């Protein structure tokens, strides 16, 4: 029964409600004696719904450098030189989301970011990797916020984990990886 109920609720929310609202937008002004206004209002409402739908499907194309800069700076990494977004992917579903992008950054920004990670009080080098906490082992609802800075064979990593505080809500997990070989910064935001 639950397998049928969930898709039905989704259908009602995302298709049924907009159709009912569209009908009301058309019928009420028409019954009041304004059929031309009703058509214009319905056309405008349909156009807004179409724009919203296009935005949902093509949101990857609306991602800007300022969006990337804001997300990176939230994790304490500052970029001052010009950079290029070389890759961006996102996906959203009920209860989970995934966003990742790769930035080509300057050598100076790379060195500053690496320095910020290495000089963190909780930095762990490659030899000291047994202190790195696996997020799968944490309580995703009630554990404490954790920021980890560590080094792997080919990158410097900053991870941020914040529990949701409520059952059935995804915790926040963000990871910034700075390549040792290239001037690349990879950002991942995974909410599952």
pLDDT band, very low/low/confident/very high, at 141 (cuts 50, 70, 90) = low
pLDDT for 9 beyond 80: no
Over residues 56-96, the pLDDT tens digits come to 777 777 788 898 899 899 888 999 999 999 988 887 666 56
Q: Is the pTM of this model over 0.75?
A: no
H/E run at residue 118: helix 107-118
The three-point CA angle 63-68-71 to 5° equals: 120
pLDDT for 147: 83
Share of the chain above pLDDT 90, in %: 33
Q: For 158-165, what is the mean pLDDT? A: 80
First-to-final CA distance of the chain: 25
- Where do the domains of the chain lie? 2-57, 63-191
pLDDT for 114: 92
């Amino acid at each position: 029964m639950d397998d049928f109920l969930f898709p039905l609720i989704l259908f009602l929310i995302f298709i049924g409600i907009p159709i009912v609202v569209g009908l009301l937008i058309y019928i009420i002004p028409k019954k009041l004696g304004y059929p031309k206004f009703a058509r214009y209002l319905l056309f405008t409402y349909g156009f807004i719904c179409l724009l919203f739908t296009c935005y949902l499907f093509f949101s990857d194309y609306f991602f800007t450098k300022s969006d990337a800069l804001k997300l990176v700076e939230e994790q304490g990494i500052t970029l001052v030189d010009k950079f290029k977004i070389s890759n961006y992917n996102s996906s959203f579903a009920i209860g989970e989301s995934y966003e990742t992008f790769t930035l080509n950054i300057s050598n100076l920004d790379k060195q500053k970011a690496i320095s910020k990670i290495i000089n963190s009080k909780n930095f762990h080098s490659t030899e000291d990797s047994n202190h790195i906490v696996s997020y799968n082992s944490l309580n995703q609802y009630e554990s404490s916020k954790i920021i980890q800075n560590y080094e792997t064979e080919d990158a410097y990593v900053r991870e941020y984990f914040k529990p949701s505080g409520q059952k059935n809500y995804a915790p926040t997990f963000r990871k910034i990886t700075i390549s040792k070989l290239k001037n690349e910064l990879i950002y991942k935001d995974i909410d599952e």
